[in-house]
Structure formats: structure tokens, C-alpha cells
Chains A and B, each alone.
Chain A
Amino acid sequence: MTDFLQYVINGLAKGSVYSLLALGLVVIYRGTGHLNFAQGEMALFATFGTLWMYSQGLQLWAALIITALLSFLGGGVIEFGLMRPAGKKSPLAVVVVAIGLFQGLNALSGLVYKGSADGLHFPSLFPNGTNDFYRIGGTCKGSVCTGGVVWRYQDIGTLVTVLVLTALLFLLFQKTKVGLAMRMVANNPDSAKLVGVSTNRILMMSWGLSSAVGVVGGTVFAGITANINLFLMFQVFLLASAAATLGGLDSPGGAVIGGLSLGVVESLVENYPKHWWFGDYIGQSTAIAVAFVIILAVLLVKPSGLFGSSRVERV
């Protein structure tokens, strides 16, 4: 039981990162109907930026906030300068441009920030020393405790970050005028124009918002692995898009639940069999395969994802 809880807690941390990237994907998908293939590399490039600012003597949190703001602008520029002109040609062009952006930003990360395959050390946003954790349960002899479930402050912080960002996005979508406009554009762009929404501006904001959420994901993840390299976001993006598909591509809440459950499943499948005879044959790749099989099964039953809206329409 203790092991089980421990694996769940570890899984939640990684799942939080998937959730953050998945949230970014959902924000763009709602507005444009496109899956942004460059999401992971946009986050990578910006996360390198955070590291650079940190190396110039800024607090990590301050550096993150500044890069998030810059990413917001950068995302808007990408929409305006690349995606919109491409979208006018054909929807397929958008996919091609996004893949180009994926390649380009990865190469640029190497060029500008001297990012490499081996990677650079990355600091954590949260206290992450040897003693920075809660112990749930366990036994104590004097001041020395053992056993129980260890929940590291870093993992707690990551989870809280995801939950706070989700809550903020929810408030933005449901309670503000900009959020209402985003929902209008997602649902019916023509009608949105007819009630006075500048759909272009809303799309720029969606891209900006998505990029800003992405860099939070990147920074948190680099903190967890204590390393940033050029391949950091490959697998994360893959799993984040799977998480978004699982939760329903147009549902922010679904993206978070999808991401967290994917993280937990991955962690359980990776670690649990260690207790059993076939444990030697199971590793992280098996875990991911199992996660994808589960997603496949869910989508067979519910093609729009767990929380995605299958459209209700009466004529």
C-alpha cells in the first residue's frame, strides 16, 4: 500500500507537467482546431530563456514570470506572422509550418543557448534539498524516521502550480469578457465576428496564452529532472498531446485530468512490476505503451475524449 501511494505521488508530479503542456494544446485547439506540434519546442526555447536569465543573476521565479510574459508576446507573433498567413492557404499548411517551427526552435535552442544533448544543470522552482519532503506514515526512532510515503516539496509545488493555473484558466474562460470571446471563437467564428469580436486578436491571445502556460510546464519539468537538454520536451509533448486527446481536446479540465492520470499510470506500470517475477522485463517504455493502449481503449468508447464535448445540435 505504501509503495502504491508512493508511485501515485511520483506519477502526479510528472503528470502535472503533461497537464501543463496539454492545457496549452487545448487553448490553441479550442480557438483554431489545430494541434500545435511546436508546443513542446516553443516551451523548450522559452525555458532555455528562463535559464539564461537565471544565470544572469535573476531569481528563478522572476525569470519564469518574465519569460512567460515574453512567451505570451512571442506566441502572438507566431500566430500573426506564421500561422495566420499559412492558414489562409490551407489547413495542411498550418501543420507543415508547425512542424517547421518544431525543428527550427529546437535548432535555435542549440544555437542561441548552447543547448546540447547532454544538457545543462537546471535549478528547481521549489525547495529540493535532501530533507525537503513530507513523510506520510512511517516509523520514527528518536529524530530518525524511515518508511512511509515521501512527498517531496518539489512534487507538491508542481501539482499546486498545475491546479492554480487550471483554476485561473477556468476563471478566464467562464468569468471574463475575453474568455467569453474565446469560447465564441471556438464555437462559431463567423457569429463571433457578427457580434463584434475581432477573431484575429483572440487567436493571437490564445497562442500567447498557450505559450505562456507552456513555458511554466517546461521550467517545472526541467526543475524536476534538474537538467535541460534539446530532447527534454520530445516525450513530454507526445504524452501531453495524448493527455489532451484522452481528456477531450476542447476541455481544459479534461487536459489536466488526462495528464495527471497518464502520469500516474506511467509511474505505476513502470514501478509496480518490480515486486513481481517479470519485473525485469518492464521499463519506462512499457509504461508508455500501456498508457497509449488505455487511451486507445477510451477513445474507442468515447471518441471525443473523457470530457470533450460531442456537439449537441438540433435543427
Chain B
Amino acid sequence: MTALLEVEGLVAGYGQVSVLQGLDLHVNEGEVAVILGANGAGKTTTMRAISGMIQRKGNVTFQGQSIVRTAPNDIVRLGIAQVPQGRGTFTDLSVADNLRAGAFTRKGDVDADIQEWYGVFPRLRERRDQKAGSLSGGEQQMLAIARALMSRPKLLLCDEPSLGLAPIITQELFQVLGRLNAERGLSILVVEQNANLAVQIAHSVFVLETGSIVASGTAAEIAADDAVRKAYLGY
């Protein structure tokens, strides 16, 4: 198994404050990796550091190539797409334009892809001419994922997709992520507070506390770890 994304000794933060204190993790090709962590553990910072949105130090290697000095718009071109926290849809743009925006890095016709994701997310087709800002939270999350997929990424980063969504919608969302991985072999790195659902589709799990990984292993191993199970899975 080769690691698609390899992160070693990642240090990142905002201004003078480092949130991440030497973080290590990896995502294998074709797998779903989940980062669990409480509020303020550094989950979003990790995602933003990987996609290049904030200053970072350490090693970040994607497909054997270091991307620690690569600008975010070039990282997308290499094949990493991020669904930011709070979805980050272009609220003033129509649903269709949001999807076109997702394919910004690609050349040529993208209509076939748009149709394909309308097939996966039929609600988006119904609302294709509506402004994204008028969609419900769940629909916006679907749109954000579809938009990220429009760039045909090799690795999808999802930052707390369940945030602010009803439990039933969250469940649906993780089913979709699981299918994308199982049927299309898409590698996914998800950050979540909603551990139960995330662990169900995960191959490997990392537990993040105050800026570094305190436990990691396969989903089964983590679920068997008493301390982690009590703290994050709640049983």
C-alpha cells in the first residue's frame, strides 16, 4: 500500500500562534481516513494547512511530490480538492455556475461531469438555476462536495461535513462519501466530530488532540481502544 498523502511534522497556525505542533498522518490510495477531534483540536487548521490556505512548515508529500511550498490554486491542479468547513459555496452564483467553478482547473467541456453529479445529487439538478445561497444546509453540503469533485481530484478533503446538518442528512452524506470511495476508488480525508458515522466508512482513523495525533490505527483498532471509544464514540 502506497501513501497518497504523507504528512510529517506539520507545524501551522495563524500569525504567531501555532495550532499544529508537529502532526503526522497519511492517507493511502483508495482509502478513507478520518481525523477525530474535539473543538479547537486543530482539525480545520490541519485541512487548511494541507490545501495550502495557511502558512505551514514540515513535510507534506502528495504522490511523492512535496507540496509544502505549493500555492493552493496549484495544489488543486495536482489533484487535491477541499470541501471547506461551512461548505464555502459561492452563494451569489447559481448551482450550475458553482459546479462550473469547481472545474476551473480543467480544460474543455465539463457538461458531462455536471450531468454525472446531477445524477448522484438529483436535488442539485432541480435547483440548478437557483442561487447557491438559497439552498438548505444539506443541499449546500452536497453542492460543495459535487463542486470539489468537478476538478476530478485524487484526494478529497472534507472539513466537518456534518456541521449544522440534521442527523438524517448527515447519515445520507456519509453514505454518499462511502459510495464515492467504494465505487470510484476516491481517496478521502474527513475531519469530523460526529465520530460514529465517520468511523463506519473509515479505513484508518487518527485522533487529534491540541495540535498533535495522540492515537491512530485502523477503524477496528480505534473502536477497540477503550479511552478513545469513550471520549469520541460515546459508549
Binding site for B on A (CB under 8 A): 177, 180-181, 183-184, 186-188, 190-199, 309, 311-315
- Residues on B with beta carbons closer than 8 Å to the beta carbon of A198: 71, 73
Q: Assess the A180–B91 pair: CB atoms within 8 A.
A: no
Distance (whole angstroms) from the CB of A27 to the closest CB of chain B: 16
- Residues on A with beta carbons closer than 8 Å to the beta carbon of B140: 314
Q: Assess the A188–B88 pair: CB atoms within 8 A.
A: yes
Classify chain B: how many residues form its interface, as a range. Answer: 20 to 34
Q: Assess the B88–A315 pair: CB atoms within 8 A.
A: no
Binding site for A on B (CB under 8 A): 51, 53, 71-74, 76-77, 81-82, 84, 88-93, 97, 100-102, 104-105, 131, 133-137, 140, 147-148, 151, 164
**CA A312 to CA B76, docked complex, whole Å:** 28
Q: Which 8 A-B pairs have the closest CB atoms?
A: A196-B76, A196-B105, A191-B88, A312-B133, A193-B72, A187-B90, A187-B92, A196-B73
Interface centre among B51, B101, B134, B136 (most CB of A within 10 A): B101
Q: Assess the B134–A312 pair: CB atoms within 8 A.
A: yes
**CA A184 to CA B100, docked complex, whole Å:** 11
Number of A-B residue pairs at CB separation under 8 A: 85
Q: Please, which residue of chain B has its CB at the minimum distance from the CB of A198? A: B73
**CA A39 to CA B63, docked complex, whole Å:** 47
**CA A187 to CA B92, docked complex, whole Å:** 6
Distance (whole angstroms) from the CB of A295 to the closest CB of chain B: 24
Q: Please, which residue of chain A has its CB at the minimum distance from the CB of B157? A: A194
Q: Assess the B90–A194 pair: CB atoms within 8 A.
A: no
Q: Assess the A315–B164 pair: CB atoms within 8 A.
A: yes
A192, A199, A313: which contacts B91 (Cβ < 8 A)? A313
Q: Assess the A177–B91 pair: CB atoms within 8 A.
A: no
**CA A180 to CA B106, docked complex, whole Å:** 14
**CA A187 to CA B132, docked complex, whole Å:** 11
Distance (whole angstroms) from the CB of B27 to the closest CB of chain A: 18
Distance (whole angstroms) from the CB of B75 to the closest CB of chain A: 8
Q: Assess the A177–B104 pair: CB atoms within 8 A.
A: yes
A181, A183, A191, A314: which contacts B133 (Cβ < 8 A)? A314
**CA A256 to CA B102, docked complex, whole Å:** 31
- Residues on A with beta carbons closer than 8 Å to the beta carbon of B72: 193-194
Additional pairs, 16, CB under 8 Å, beyond known A194-B82, A196-B105, A312-B134:
A180-B97, A181-B104, A183-B93, A184-B93, A187-B91, A187-B92, A187-B93, A188-B90, A194-B84, A195-B76, A195-B105, A195-B151, A198-B71, A311-B91, A312-B92, A314-B140
B53, B101, B105, B151: which contacts A190 (Cβ < 8 A)? B53
Distance (whole angstroms) from the CB of A173 to the closest CB of chain B: 11
Q: Assess the A195–B91 pair: CB atoms within 8 A.
A: no
- Residues on B with beta carbons closer than 8 Å to the beta carbon of A194: 51, 53, 72, 76, 81-82, 84, 88, 148
